[in-house]
Structure 1
Amino acid sequence: MPGPDGAGRGRRVVVVGGGIGGLATASLLARGGADVTLLERHERVGGRAGTLELDGFRFDTGPSWYFMPEVFAHFFALMGERIEDHLDLVRLDPAYRVFFEGADPGGPAQALEVSGDPEENWTRFDALEPGAGARMRAYAGESSEAYRTAIDHFLYTTFARSDRALGAPVLRRSGTLARLLTETLADRVARTVQDPRLRQVLGYHAVFLGSSPYRVPALYSLMSHLDLVDGVRFPRGGMYTVIEAIERLALAAGVRIRTGTEVTAIEVVPASRTARAPRRTGLARGVRLATGELVPADVVVSGADLHHTETELLAPEHATLPEPVWERRGPGISALLVLAGVRGSLPELAHHSLFFTRDWPGNFDAVLGNGASASPDALRVPEAASMYVSRTSATDMDAAPPGHENVFVLVPFPADPRLGAGGAGSPARAELEAHADRYLDQVGAWAGVPGLRDRVVTRRVVGPADFARDFSAWRGTALGMEHTLRQSAMFRPGNVSARVPNLLYVGGGTIPGVGLPMCLISAELVAKRLLGETSSRALPAPLRPGFLDASRATGRWPGARGAQPARDPHELQGSAP
């Protein structure tokens, strides 16, 4: 167990939650030499990145875009593996298709294909607005530079030493970075193009951040690098194959995975404050299960929803972020999901399709309100919605029975757990199903698929109430805490408790943010915390098996007595596989 001044030198780590962040953390720490148990309350791992097999159809139930491929490849390399040996990645062309609302809301929309070839895209953009192709090419180049700066200096830091991220390359770009932080993405885009359709192409990424282009800082223009420069990929077999691959790595590293196991509390014993831990109130000694069992631990890593961890799993006196703090924060967007098996072919839809309303600002105001902490009562469900539609059967023939297609519809929705509450047959659930009907009709009308809803042979509808119930999601949000400026980078909740120093956090609620790549980086940041590594660099790959042993022996684990600065991380590197 931990010594009197911190996390001590024990081996036992308990990871709460089997989402991608929890799985990746468990894998890394087990490779480092820790004795790791992962606890997941559902019968299979994956969390929001789940899979559903329904009447012969297969659906990814969460993240659908495979962005930032180098982050995935780096994680596998840390584990001494080649990602090519685990995933069959297909480059999509078109990358996606966009449907812009026409003059008649009930009629066909104007369509634009975004190609996998950047040069082809500049020509297409120029046809919509003369001169826009060159400006968007320049914008994409700047987004690539911002993306590289983020990867090299910000995303892989714990912010334990913020000055470590401010090297000469960052200081040379300080003027540009200041502008990117002080204006919104929408403002940045508006200075680039005038055509509202092109503005939507450059601004839609904000939805991936649980927000809108009118609220996220312009720094997130870096996301245009991902689709306009780097391209869009898809792992054949579905996004859940990523989860299955990391689960295999975890098991091979020695992680014990217990599914169907619900954690109800993080057990904390009192501990006095010290100069090194001035806010400390206790030390985690393990977690309590719904069965009453105590699973002991020297370090606890929670991959559960951060609000749930802080307000439900911890006693109030040990919470770094008690409930009043959350009331001033913004949960971001939730979602209505429609998973539909459809009879016949759907060539009108690409693998990825985006549907944009003309009143884009009004659409975002409806689901987000006017302030970061808007009350659910101030939010509303839009009549016609901007939305995302995935048809993975366009790439994976076995995702649907012969002669059928699978369709996944994601509609940005208010974060209000009352939406869809009450179970089958309740008025709220019936209303959610009616919304699903309306949005399927919208997809059919805009994409030119007559009778789309009549061709649905099976479907499942998921709403905010389901996210709240199944994932303990704060206010039923689907994507996690919104990435406004005050909830990004060093302003986002850190990955270690200020009051319980051997309790760490992983996942979308902590740094660096939401999305599968961010959760993989978040797992690496847990390892960096345990190493005492404060650089902004990613850890070298592959990591040497047992790389955590020296840190335990020298007391580098969180809050340990006489904690020392980390060694050069390259000392942790193993031989190439």
Structure 2
Amino acid sequence: MIVGSERIVVIGGGIAGLAASALLARDGHRVTLLEGREGFGGRAGSWSRDGFRFDTGPSWYLMPEVFDHFFRLFGTSAAEHLDLERLDPGYRVYADGYDAPLDIRGSRRENVELFESVEPGAGAALERYLDSAASTYDIARRRFLYTNFDGVRGLLAPEVLRGAGRLTSLLTTSLDRFAARTVRDRRLRQVLGYPAVFLGSSPTATPAMYHLMSHMDLEQGVFYPRGGFTAVIEAIASIAADAGVDLVPNARVTAIELTEGADPTVTGVTFHDAAGASHRVPAHRVVSAADLHHTETELLPAHARTYPESWWRRRTSGPGAVLAMLGVRGEVPGLAHHTLFFTEDWRENFGRIFGSNPSIPDPASFYVCRPSATDASVAPPGDSNLFVLVPVPADVGIGRGGEDGAGDRLVEATADRAIAVIAAATGANDLVERIAVRRTVGPADFAADLNSWRGGALGPAHTLRQSAFLRGSNRSRRVQGLLYAGGSSVPGIGLPMCLISAENVVKRVRGDRSSGPLAEPEAAGPGAVGPAPASGVRSREGA
């Protein structure tokens, strides 16, 4: 149903910008999306060389019901656009001090059995933990994620009031402490605490509220879209184009134009094209899905900033990252599709990243994705595609990456140490010699290519002071008609959160103050929530 016809410019062609533009066009608005780079996707980009293709960012497909809800808003489904596989194992864990890895399985029952096999009594403890995680996730999805916190109705819902004491306890207890109350084995505690990294934080600084993340990986399961996350971006970009969005690549926005005076209103956006020529697009509203710090401090004059530099100095950035994209001849059989490497002293590891005197952890906990374990299209036959992510401080001084070892010293040395750990853990002693393609990325690349605040890989960390309504608003307090979407805004980090942020922008434009997802075409009411998809999902056994 057409609900409006404004001229709206969306800045940034990542998943949040693409989704917001599609939803706004669906409502009848005339939407232009400006993306500064040649391709769309933002952090969810793609890079190829010599037959190897790499996702350059997100690689965990979690919260499948959020994706399917978005597609159903357009009368379709994720199953119609994506070929999803449930991974089994969901991921593998190598932990310092233990000889054998742990395989986190594809179902709750199997993971309960796994926990029990490691620590007597841990199975029953995990059952209770996952019951709590599922309940917390359900409330969060219906009351706290799809909302702009501009009304109290959702906060005063009976289920929220009844659980106020429990919710307060979860907010004031750290995830690390909450996990330690559940199990004793260090590896199991790390499995329960590691989701903090997906939230751009450390287990000691993340509220236990976010134990809801364990409902996703230990119960719902981990999925993979064949073709990689490029397939997700292509599907949403196609929906945006079909909805009538004017998708403009190579359009580097230089300013958000405003009316003069004490109460400025957006009037348009200026940008430079690939040839350097300047252009202007008029607008009744602007939605910036670019980095929030960049939007506020580079695209607006000082008097129009809701979040000036003084505000950012009081915020905590998520981690930076050193990425290594490795095309390896032959197999690396000790790696699953997703593999985590955990150091023994986690407090030291995260203290080096988030502490008062940050530095690159050594040894470091890190993550490896081997999509070639599932998808033959990402590497030549018989070869392996490895994507390595080492969390480091958000510090552009760490430097930039490059191809074939040409990156800055700290970036390349960090990648080299991770490769050595992989080789030792998996028995692939000749791994270095078999690397045919190598590209690294450092924090300075995130700053230069994505305008990322401090070179962070994710966005502001999900600490207590930076979660829910304390994270900020998706509406400028100084500029009429300026809205925000994406991982550096609300509700937060991750592709599902970015999809939700797009929907919340649409609710702002509509004046919708409800606390649940938008009604789907077949749904009866504004708070209708569809089930997680079952069709179109295959389970993959083994790695």
CA distance in 2, matches of 1:467, 1:543: 41
Q: What is the CA-CA distance between 1:10 and the residue it aligns to? A: 5.8
Alignment correspondent of 1:311: 297
Q: Which amino acid aligns with 2:250?
A: G
CA distance in 2, matches of 1:120, 1:97: 14
CA deviation map 1:236-274 (0-9, x unaligned)? 1111100000000000000001101100111111255xx
Contact 2:333 2:426 in 1 (8 A): no
Contact 1:164 1:534 in 2 (8 A): no
CA shift in 2, pair 1:237/1:143, >3 Å: same
Alignment correspondent of 2:67: 72
Sequence identity of aligned pairs in percent?
A: 53
State the aligned residue count.
521
Contact 2:266 2:285 in 1 (8 A): yes
Alignment correspondent of 1:551: none
CA distance in 2, matches of 1:84, 1:438: 40
Alignment correspondent of 1:89: 84
Alignment correspondent of 1:433: 412
SS at match of 2:194: helix
CA deviation map 1:49-76 (0-9, x unaligned)? 0111111101111000000000000001
Contact 2:14 2:43 in 1 (8 A): yes
CA deviation map 1:370-389 (0-9, x unaligned)? xxxx5xxx210112110110
CA shift in 2, pair 1:282/1:434, >3 Å: same
Alignment correspondent of 1:238: 228
CA deviation map 1:211-232 (0-9, x unaligned)? 0110010000000000111111
SS at match of 1:164: coil
CA distance in 2, matches of 1:161, 1:483: 22
The answer to whether 1:30 aligns with 2:12 is no
Correspondence for 1:330 among 310, 316, 319: 316
Correspondence for 1:409 among 388, 392, 396: 388
The answer to whether 1:282 aligns with 2:268 is no
CA shift in 2, pair 1:118/1:423, >3 Å: closer
SS at match of 1:410: strand
Alignment correspondent of 1:19: 14
Residues 29-178 of structure 1: pairs in structure 2 closer than 5 A: 29-102=24-97, 109-178=99-168
CA distance in 1, matches of 2:62, 2:203: 19
CA distance in 2, matches of 1:242, 1:177: 34
CA shift in 2, pair 1:159/1:345, >3 Å: same
SS at match of 2:396: coil
Residues 491-510 of structure 1: pairs in structure 2 closer than 5 A: 491-510=470-489
CA deviation map 1:335-386 (0-9, x unaligned)? 11000000111221000001100011100001111xxxx5xxx210112110
Q: Which amino acid aligns with 2:57?
A: G
Residues 455-474 of structure 1: pairs in structure 2 closer than 5 A: 455-474=434-453
Contact 1:507 1:523 in 2 (8 A): yes
Q: Which has the larger radius of gyration?
A: 1
CA deviation map 1:529-571 (0-9, x unaligned)? 0111111011101299xxxxxxxxxxxxxxxxxxxxxxx8489
Correspondence for 1:442 among 385, 410, 421: 421
Q: What is the CA-CA distance between 1:450 and the residue it aligns to? A: 1.3
The answer to whether 1:512 aligns with 2:502 is no
CA distance in 1, matches of 2:398, 2:298: 22
Alignment correspondent of 1:195: 185
TM-score of the two chains, using structure 2 as the length reference: 0.93
TM-score of the two chains, using structure 1 as the length reference: 0.88
Alignment correspondent of 1:538: 517
Correspondence for 1:399 among 353, 358, 378: 378
CA shift in 2, pair 1:423/1:119, >3 Å: closer
CA distance in 2, matches of 1:326, 1:57: 39
Q: Which amino acid aligns with 2:9?
A: V
SS at match of 2:148: coil
Q: Which amino acid aligns with 2:491?
A: P
Q: Which amino acid aligns with 1:121?
A: N
Q: Which blocks of at least 5 consecutive residues in structure 2 are unaligned?
A: 529-543
Q: Which amino acid aligns with 1:53?
A: S
CA distance in 1, matches of 2:177, 2:331: 40
Query: C-alpha root-mean-square deviation of aligned residues, in Å?
Result: 1.9
CA distance in 2, matches of 1:159, 1:385: 38
Alignment correspondent of 1:186: 176
Contact 2:405 2:438 in 1 (8 A): no
Q: Which amino acid aligns with 1:45?
A: F
CA shift in 2, pair 1:428/1:401, >3 Å: closer
CA deviation map 1:435-459 (0-9, x unaligned)? 2111101111122221212211111
Alignment correspondent of 1:224: 214
SS at match of 1:171: helix
Alignment correspondent of 1:4: none
Residues 345-424 of structure 1: pairs in structure 2 closer than 5 A: 345-369=331-355, 374=356, 378-421=357-400
CA deviation map 1:77-119 (0-9, x unaligned)? 111212211000101111111001127xxxxx53001111322
The answer to whether 1:342 aligns with 2:328 is yes
CA distance in 2, matches of 1:528, 1:111: 45
CA distance in 2, matches of 1:53, 1:427: 17
CA distance in 2, matches of 1:149, 1:262: 39
CA distance in 1, matches of 2:335, 2:311: 43
CA shift in 2, pair 1:245/1:426, >3 Å: closer
Contact 2:61 2:222 in 1 (8 A): yes
CA shift in 2, pair 1:197/1:424, >3 Å: closer
CA distance in 1, matches of 2:477, 2:294: 17
Contact 1:101 1:446 in 2 (8 A): no
Contact 1:153 1:166 in 2 (8 A): no
CA distance in 1, matches of 2:403, 2:409: 8
CA distance in 2, matches of 1:424, 1:230: 37
Q: Which amino acid aligns with 1:499?
A: R
Alignment correspondent of 1:266: 256
Alignment correspondent of 1:106: none
CA shift in 2, pair 1:253/1:156, >3 Å: same
SS at match of 1:270: coil
CA shift in 2, pair 1:96/1:298, >3 Å: same
Contact 1:367 1:414 in 2 (8 A): yes
CA deviation map 1:483-513 (0-9, x unaligned)? 0010000001211100112000000111110
Contact 1:333 1:413 in 2 (8 A): yes
CA distance in 1, matches of 2:178, 2:127: 14
CA shift in 2, pair 1:478/1:73, >3 Å: same
